[in-house]
Structure 1
Amino acid sequence: MIHHLDHLVITTTDEQACVDFYVGVLGMTLVVFGEGRKAFSFGQQKINVHVKGSELEPKAHLPVPGALDLCFIADRPLDEVISALQAKGAAIIEGPVPRTGATGPIRSIYLRDPDLNLIEISEPMAGRADRR
């Protein structure tokens, strides 16, 4: 019944800090749509941005900043991601460590966005089975 994720919504307390992190640090593309709504585009997905207290309806039952745990698959080797993040002053809080992703083994690092959401960035490990 479900094929893939189209978008998800992140709630932030500081829209500009959120933009700076997802665009400036993680390299996503800022998209402005509708009546000034913002989103971060990457691959064929996007993250819509809601500001706490000004969320659009309908919304999650309890939209709160800092409640997400997101895992992204990198478009380059994880060691290059680590170097790029360090060059931008981003603090890696754990990793690299082995984990299990949706399609098999991954190697991951962890950091936090400005709202303290947990951000995992990963690369597939050798011998990965593609299970779509």
Structure 2
Amino acid sequence: MTVTDVAASVAFYRDILGLQPLEFQAADGSRRWALAFGAQKINLHPAQAPFAPHAAEPRAGAADLCFLSPIPLDEWSAYFEACGQRVLDGPVQRSGALGPIVSLYIRDPDGNLLEIANQI
């Protein structure tokens, strides 16, 4: 995911969503960051100099991610309010990869759309 400020993105995803930041050395010797959750990770590409391979048109703020959570959305909503994060929409019923879900939406520091969802 292309971001304008790697440190700000790491802090947001760690402190607000609880993702685990991973700093690692790539094969070319450069230092990189990723965000881990379960068996998945999101690589962070600095917008000023995205490393290869990268998106066809690397641009901060263009991502739309959905995270399934066992935590009820009313708890997420109260938590986001306490953190000063504005909920854009929800809870609303949607179709998820594994069936029906109920979702709410926030944005990260770059404006990426983040969907937090509970399976129905």
Q: Find runs of 4+ consecutive structure 1 residues off by over 2 angstroms.
A: none
**Amino acid of the residue matched to residue 8 of structure 2?**
A
Flag structure 1 segments of 5+ consecutive residues without an equivalent: 1-9, 126-132
Alpha-carbon offset, residue 14 of structure 1: 1.4
TM-score by length of 1: 0.83
Alpha-carbon offset, residue 36 of structure 1: 2.2
Correspondence 1:75-90 to 2 at 5 A: 75-90=70-85
- Mapped contact 1:74–1:81 kept (Cα < 8 A): no
Alpha-carbon offset, residue 50 of structure 1: 0.6
Structure 2 residue aligned with 1:120:
115
Structure 2 residue aligned with 1:103:
98
TM-score by length of 2: 0.91
Post-superposition Cα deviations, 1:34-71, rounded to whole Å, max 9, x if no partner, equal 13211111011011101012111122221101111111
Post-superposition Cα deviations, 1:77-119, rounded to whole Å, max 9, x if no partner, equal 2222222222211110111111110111100000111111111
Instruction: State the SS of the aligned residue for 1:75.
Output: coil
Q: How far apart are the structure 1 equivalents of 2:42 and 2:57?
A: 18
Structure 1 residue aligned with 2:13:
22
Flag structure 2 segments of 5+ consecutive residues without an equivalent: none
